[in-house]
Amino acid sequence: MPTSPVDIRDATGADRDWAAALMAGSDPWMRLGATLAACLDMCRDPRYEVYVALRDGKRLGVVILQDKGLAGSPYLKSIAVAEGVRSRGVGSALLDFAEARWRGEARWFFLCVSSFNERARALYERRGYTAVGELPDQVVDGAGETVMRKRL
């Protein structure tokens, strides 16, 4: 039986709280020391655009975007996919949505990925992102953040 498509919409207040709990309870956020309170602050921050991915009404993932995040270009602040649906196209659908959001308006789209998050980095590289810089010990000692960008 084919899987129904992923729908992506603006996050409601309840979606934002769900997204914060998702992030606070999974890696890389746990390894980076993100608390539920910090994730709630980020998800509720009006400076960020927050979108939720759903399939058949069930929340699957979230993407948090910043319009002028890095060098005046849009920035993917965070992306998270629920554990039971990882590697099933939800992350790619969220990336497609995020890139389409600024295609035609921005030249570059940026994101950062933690040095220990090899699965995410592999996804970004497959999707055409290239590393443009390293930020050692940026969030936690012993782990770096790789700045990546893609031309839109």
Block means of pLDDT (10 residues each) for the chain, 152 residues, are 80 97 89 90 96 95 93 93 88 95 94 90 94 83 88 96
Q: Tell me, letter by letter, the H, E, C secondary structure of the chain.
A: CCCCCCEEEECCHHHHHHHHHHHHCCCCCCCCCCCHHHHHHHHHCCCCEEEEEEECCEEEEEEEEEEEEECCEEEEEEEEECHHHCCCCHHHHHHHHHHHHHECCECEEEEEEECCCHHHHHHHHHCCCEEEEEECCCCCCCCCEEEEEEEC
Does residue 47 lie in a domain region? yes
Residue 121 within a domain: yes
Q: Could you tell me the CA-to-CA distances from 37 to 34, 125, 151 in Å, in that order?
A: 8, 31, 34
Q: What is the count of structural domains for the chain?
A: 1
Predicted local distance difference test score (pLDDT) of residue 3: 67
Helix extents (H) in the chain: 13-24, 36-44, 90-102, 118-126
**Structural domain includes residue 18:** yes
Residue 27 lies in a domain: yes
Q: In this structure, is residue 2 part of a structural domain?
A: no
Residue 111 counted as domain residue: yes
CATH of the domain at 143: 3.40.630.30
Does 1 map to a domain? no
Q: Which domain holds residue 87?
A: 7-151
Task: Judge whether 80 lies within some domain.
Answer: yes
